[in-house]
């Protein structure tokens, strides 16, 4: 069981959350409240998805992970209790309940790891820890931020023995917060309060292929999503930009073209050469680099891929 030399860990995920929907109808409940096909998930399988409200506005962007009579929702959100209340509101006669696991579970991200080897470590440690309750199921799943990334959610009793095992196998480098923010932005992973704000529509976040099923049938907010898909256009879209030269930028700064404001930065980070990468909303007509863009009179461009 070998990890790469680049193996590192983010021990505390900013606003990291885990909500478990448990019960015989857990998949049905999760399926009816999210934009992707959750009902077909097998144990350990995961899909990106949005939780939307009745108007089709995004309230969270998460990874839904299948389990036995369980769906775990993992991601980042500053108010997980609000998400729990939202889901609870739509559980009426279904055999399901929502458990906010952040009080007993610890969420970490690992980079440059072998996922199957990591699962073996967690299983081996878990078998020897007697204080783990049945409701505290360890979770290890690939997370689409960075190369060979895994989200690990462990009961508190397992954190120290697992991290000791990982350190012996080369996973001991801590990822600085600024490096993590760079990774999040580079992966175009939206954050509540930055990219996801009041009345954000799923298609504006430009993750249709990863997070939206247009064939799954009815779910909360589906009418809005389907109507927007039928129209084939959004008036603004989230894009990834990189500055061509070093420049200081921050959230809220304007993106301009030809002297006119065409967008606004939501998140920015710079780790190495001073050239920041940015997530920004830009107006329709500027999504694909049809026109030159600037921030503070510095050219910005769309990175390849």
All structural domains of the chain: 8-177 (3.30.1360.120), 183-301 (2.40.30.160)
Does the pLDDT value for residue 20 go beyond 80? yes
Q: Which tens digit of pLDDT belongs to each residue from 220-264? A: 999 999 999 998 789 999 999 999 999 999 999 999 999 999 999
The encoded tokens of residue 7 equal 């193996």
Rounded distance between C-alpha atoms, residue 143 and residue 256, angstroms? 34
pLDDT at 102: 67
Cα atoms in the Cβ-side hemisphere of radius 13 Å centred on 118: 28
Of the pLDDT bands very low, low, confident and very high (cuts 50, 70, 90), residue 134 is low
Average pLDDT estimate for 179-195: 95
Phi, psi of 191 (to 5 degrees): -120, 135
Distance CA 124, CA 187 (A): 32
- The pLDDT value given to residue 288: 80
Task: List the structure tokens of 13.
Answer: 């995920």
């Amino acid at each position: 069981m070998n990890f790469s030399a680049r193996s590192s860990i983010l021990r505390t995920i900013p606003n990291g959350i885990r909500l478990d929907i448990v019960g015989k109808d857990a998949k049905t409940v999760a399926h009816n409240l999210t934009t992707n096909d959750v009902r077909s998930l097998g144990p350990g399988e995961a899909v990106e998805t949005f939780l939307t409200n009745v108007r089709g506005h995004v309230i969270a962007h998460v990874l839904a992970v299948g389990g036995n009579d369980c769906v775990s929702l993992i991601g980042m959100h500053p108010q997980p209790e609000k998400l729990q209340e939202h889901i609870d509101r739509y559980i009426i006669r279904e055999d399901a309940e929502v458990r906010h696991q952040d009080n007993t579970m610890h969420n970490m991200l690992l980079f440059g790891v072998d996922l199957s080897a990591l699962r073996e470590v967690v299983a081996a440690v878990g078998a020897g820890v007697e204080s783990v309750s049945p409701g505290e199921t360890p979770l290890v799943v690939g997370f689409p931020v960075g190369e060979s990334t895994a989200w690990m959610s462990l009961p508190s009793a397992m954190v120290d023995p697992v991290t000791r095992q990982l350190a012996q196998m080369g996973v001991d480098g801590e990822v600085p917060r600024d490096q993590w923010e760079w990774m999040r932005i580079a992966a175009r992973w939206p954050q509540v309060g930055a990219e996801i704000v009041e009345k954000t529509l799923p298609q504006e976040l430009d993750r249709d292929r990863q997070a939206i099923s247009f064939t799954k049938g009815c779910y909360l907010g589906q009418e809005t999503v389907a109507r927007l898909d039928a129209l084939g256009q959004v008036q603004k879209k989230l894009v990834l930009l990189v500055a061509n030269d070093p420049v200081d930028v921050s959230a809220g700064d304007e993106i301009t073209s030809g002297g006119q404001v065409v967008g606004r930065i939501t998140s920015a980070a710079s780790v190495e050469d001073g050239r920041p990468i940015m997530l920004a909303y830009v107006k329709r007509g500027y999504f694909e680099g049809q026109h030159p863009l600037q921030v503070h009179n510095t050219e910005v461009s769309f990175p390849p891929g």
